[in-house]
Each structure stands twice: as structure tokens, then as C-alpha cells.
Chains A and B, each alone.
Chain A
């Protein structure tokens, strides 16, 4: 049991820190939250910088500990987050790397790493949210193509994406988990309509995607036909297992800023509020240790995160909401001003117990797959 880093890991950290110190001051200003083309260009520009400096493949080319250091240092330095590259770098990329053919890896991975292509995720459907496997988007085989019809929802970055990791039903007769396939769909194919959805935070963060007889080459299928559910579970284990490392670091910084603000505006003298911040400090310190524990476990078991990610996601998503609720109490009436820091974060934190599997679904996963409790009806 050890929290020390190897000399190689420390050297990586020092080199990265030094590079960030040089690279960050030359960044252009961040685009406005609703300027999607601007955000795409900004995020891809940063990815290109990472690529040129040799850090682009850290999400799937490096050891889990090196990846942890990368996320810790970039967050601490205030570097841009993956942003529009989220799905490509953290979902589709790792999935293609693990399950794709050599040809598929050559076609899709380099453009993700170089910051040339953006991916979005076509998993959720209007009538199949938490019950992901109830999806109904159909793909009918026609020669060398699948012909896809249906609709997807909650698709982040759909407006600016080049590719979509798409789940389709290829065998409507099979049991619902068995008749699904995983396709890479080009977003410029005829028959695709994207309609932005406005969130309660006021931004057009994600979209509905309508698919009307869209032709997708059979060669774009990753994994076997009707084996898409298993391929998807690989994707989701990445999403739940390691997607939040940088965010825990960010939450710990926000907590320090909150303490500073409370000291400034006098609310620090309220013992109940102060102790709530102290308890949140314990919470995020523990979540950071749990992150280190999970990363070490992944390191020792060969890199693919397990269901332990659900344990982390459950605790973290609720802690994040408590953090921004505490922020509102530090701000007082100013928490009703959208121009104040933390107010938009409070609104967006409401999605954390829903996105990537609701807390209820995560509890089922923990209970059934870790504790071995029987499946319910």
C-alpha cells in the first residue's frame, strides 16, 4: 500500500508541468458557451497542441497512473478540458482501440488524437433512457450497407460532430440485449437531422438526432453483428471508471475558493456553514483517495476499469451537487445571479445523478454485480 510515484512518473509530471507553463499563456480566449463551432475549434486546437507535444494519446496509450497525473496537472494548471473531444477521446476511441479491427483503428484513432475529428454518442433514445437496451432504432441490412431509421436524444456535440458512435437494433427478434450492434456513423450522411435541445441551464448543450433511411457501411460496425451490447459495456466502463478524475481535482479547488469567499463575505463566522465546508473537504479528500485506489487497481489488473467505477460515480455525483448547494449558501442572495461564479455549475450539477446511468441504475449495478444480489423483475 503506497501513495508514492515512481521516478519515471515524477519525471512525467515535471515535464508536463513545465510544458503547461509554456503552452497555456499563448491560448486564445475561451469561446462563449453557446458558440458550438467556436468551441469545436478551440477544443480541437488544444488537442492539436497536446498531439504535437506528445500528450495526445495519454487517455489510452499510457498507464492509468500516468493518465491520473496528466488529468491532475492539466486541471491544476487551468488547461482546457477535453470538451468537444469528450466522446472521441474517452468513449469511442478506447472502444475502437479495444474492440476494433486493425483497419478500423487506423481509420478512426489518428484523427481523434490529432484533433481533426469530433465524435458524438448515439446511445439514448426518447423511449429508452435508463433502460438503454430498450432502444428501437432499426438497422436493416441492404448489400454492403445498413439502412438506419429511428431517433436518438441527449446527444452532446451532435451539431459539430463528424462521427457518431451509434447503437442500433440489427435483430428485432432477439432478446433485447442480444440484437444490438455498434456502428460508426458519418454525421454528414443523407437522412440525418439534428435539432438542438435547450437545458435548464439555458444552453443548447445537446440535441435530438433523427435518422431517416441513413446508409452506414457494414464495414463501420465495431465488433460482431448483434454483439453491440458487450461492446457498449466496454465503453460505459470507461465512462464511469475514469471520466471524473479531473473533476475531483476541480471540485477541491472550488472548495478552497468557496472557503476564501466565505471568509471575505463574513459567512465563515457561521459555524454550521463552516463545518459543512469542512465535511465537504473530507468528502472530496476521500473521493481523491478512492480515485487513487481505483487507478491503482486498474493498473494492476491491466487497464480496463471495472464496476468499481459505479461506486465512485454514485458518491461523486451526489457530492458534487452538495458542493454547489453549499456554494449557493456561501453566496446568499447572489446565488440567484447567473453572472456569479458557481451558479451555472450548480445548475449543470443537477445532471450528474442522471447522465451516464442514473444513481438508481448505478445502485442496481453495485448490488447485482458487486454484492451478488438477485436481479429484480
Chain B
């Protein structure tokens, strides 16, 4: 059994991280926050050119020909970088919707009561009739409410969990970096157990979620995907909150990127429908032979 990243998977992850650092670094993030509601088409095409949307499309159809584990690694990096846009819907539409694979088309999908990026999208999957805009909590994700929701595919749930994992990884890093250098009472705050233990729990939640998300990427089984979703939601939301706590007053400012992680993490927890539905399915699974 080799349940660890393979050499080429590491290389892929590092490659995606480099591309995102180049085309969506801190300055681009800041610019996007200052001009909310607009999707950067040049960025979308750049993602398309890098193979982000066509990652799982067979080479014979112009894709990269990789599998779900690789897609999960790419979406983890997207979550880490807070990359905006209907990434999951466009990725899943590659091969079906013309232009999705190359990033020429922006595709969104009607989800559980909400549609993301409705007015910026070229193609809408599902029935968005009667959609009403709302003032979205996450400044980087415009939202419409829809009267009739649509079920969310397990693959979309898994890719969302991967984004949550990336966000959890990033907020843990931010907290640790701050705790190492910020001094109070004559020493770095990371030397205090109260702060140290917050950071340790962030890592524990992140690494437990990582094992669950990667396993679901390998098996693609429904129970594994529900598990990944619950664990990754927990790691992302609680990680962002703890990161805010470690940063003190600075964590509560608009200027610091942390609130964007927390708000996006909240948004993603709603994509797959209520968490109670995942819990119900996992409860029912206990009564089956395969549990």
C-alpha cells in the first residue's frame, strides 16, 4: 500500500501552486476584493491554458488525461490561494460545454438553493428562473438565490472538500507564522500553551481531513465523499476561526486576508446541501454490511 503522494503528484501540486502564485498572487487577490462581482476573464483563460479545467479530460479529447486524485490536488491549491470563480462547475463541464475546457467559457451550475457567479457566467447548468441576487457575505463570490435547487453531484462535493482542505492548510500556516514572530509579554506568543494548543488542533483537524479527502479521491465512494466533506468543512471553518483568534485584533480587520478564507469556507459548507444530510447517509450506512 502506498497511500502517499507519488512523485508526479507532488510535482503537479507544486506546479499548480506556482501557476496560481503567478496569476493570482496577493496583489491580484487584493484587486479582486476592491472590484467585486467581476470575473477576470484573462485569469480564466490562463487557468484553461494551464489545464486546470481539462485536467481529467482524456488526451484524445484535448485534455490532460489525469484522474480524480490529481484534480483534488489542483483544487486544494485553488482553495489555498482563494481563487475566485465557479471553478468546480466549469471543471465538471469540460468536455460537455464548448469552451469550458480551455477557459473560454465560464460555466456555473444551480446548486442547493444558490447559484454562484450567475451574471458573469456564459452557460448556466440547471434552471435559474426566478433567481434573486443577494448581498453575499464572501466579497469574491456573487450569489443568487433560486426557488428550485438542484442536487449536487458527488464529484462537486469532493472538489469542494479539496478546496476546504487547501484553505485549512493555509490558515494553519498563517496562524503558525504569526505565532512564531509576534511577541507579547516578552516572548513569541507561540510559546504560550494557550496559543500553541490552538495551532496544534488546527494541524490535527487539517491532517485528519487530508487523509479523508485523499482517500475519497482514490475510491470515489459515496461514504468516503460524505466523510471527506464533513471533515474538510470542519477543518476549514474552525481553522479560519482559530487563525483569527491567534491574530487578535489584526485578525478582525478587512485588510488581513483571513476573513476571506472564513467567508469562503462558510459558503462552501452550503454547496453540498445541509451537513445533516451527509450525517444521515453515514448513519444509514452503519446498518449495511459494507460499513
Residue ranges of A at the interface with B (Cβ–Cβ < 8 Å): 1-6, 9, 65, 68, 252, 255-256, 258-260, 263, 271, 274-279, 281-283, 285-287, 289-290, 292-293, 295-297, 299-300, 308, 311, 314-315, 360, 362-364, 366-368, 370-377
**Secondary structure of the A side of the interface?**
helix
In the bound complex, what is the Cα–Cα distance between A136 and B187 (angstroms)?
Answer: 31
Residue ranges of B at the interface with A (Cβ–Cβ < 8 Å): 1-6, 9, 69, 176, 179-180, 187-188, 190-193, 195-197, 199-201, 203-204, 207-212, 214-215, 217-219, 223-224, 226-227, 230-231, 276, 278-287, 291
Which chain A residues lie closer than 8 Å to B208 at the CB level? 286-287, 290, 311, 315
In the complex formed, the residue of A with least CB distance to B193 is A376
Q: A314 and B280: CB pair below 8 A?
A: no
In the bound complex, what is the Cα–Cα distance between A163 and B208 (angstroms)?
Answer: 37
In the bound complex, what is the Cα–Cα distance between A297 and B214 (angstroms)?
Answer: 14
Number of A-B contacts (CB under 8 A): 178
Identify which of A1, A277, A279 contacts B2 (C-beta below 8 A).
A1
Given A373-B176, A374-B190, residue A260 in contact with residue B2 (CB < 8 A): no
Q: A255-B286, A311-B207, A367-B190 are in contact. List 19 more A-B contacts (CB 8 A).
A: A3-B215, A3-B218, A5-B1, A256-B286, A274-B279, A278-B280, A278-B282, A279-B230, A279-B279, A285-B212, A285-B227, A286-B209, A299-B2, A314-B201, A315-B208, A363-B200, A364-B193, A370-B203, A374-B190
Q: B291 and A256: CB pair below 8 A?
A: yes
Given A1-B218, A278-B280, residue A372 in contact with residue B204 (CB < 8 A): no
Q: A3 and B3: CB pair below 8 A?
A: yes
Which chain B residues lie closer than 8 Å to A283 at the CB level? 231
In the complex formed, the residue of A with least CB distance to B226 is A282
Q: A363 and B282: CB pair below 8 A?
A: no
Identify which of B1, B9, B193, B217 contacts A9 (C-beta below 8 A).
B1
Which chain B residues lie closer than 8 Å to A282 at the CB level? 212, 226-227, 230-231, 278-279, 282
Residue of B3, B179, B212 with most partner-chain A CB within 10 A: B3
Q: B2 and A296: CB pair below 8 A?
A: yes
In the bound complex, what is the Cα–Cα distance between A112 and B197 (angstroms)?
Answer: 38
Q: A374 and B191: CB pair below 8 A?
A: yes
Q: B204 and A315: CB pair below 8 A?
A: yes
- Name the distance in Å between A321's Cβ and chain B's nearest Cβ: 15
Given A275-B283, A299-B1, A363-B201, residue A376 in contact with residue B291 (CB < 8 A): no
In the bound complex, what is the Cα–Cα distance between A231 and B208 (angstroms)?
Answer: 29
Identify which of B3, B231, B281 contacts A278 (C-beta below 8 A).
B281
Which chain A residues lie closer than 8 Å to B211 at the CB level? 286, 289-290, 292-293
In the bound complex, what is the Cα–Cα distance between A364 and B209 (angstroms)?
Answer: 21
- Name the distance in Å between A233's Cβ and chain B's nearest Cβ: 19
Q: A372 and B180: CB pair below 8 A?
A: yes
Q: A293 and B279: CB pair below 8 A?
A: no
Residue of A275, A371, A375 with most partner-chain B CB within 10 A: A371
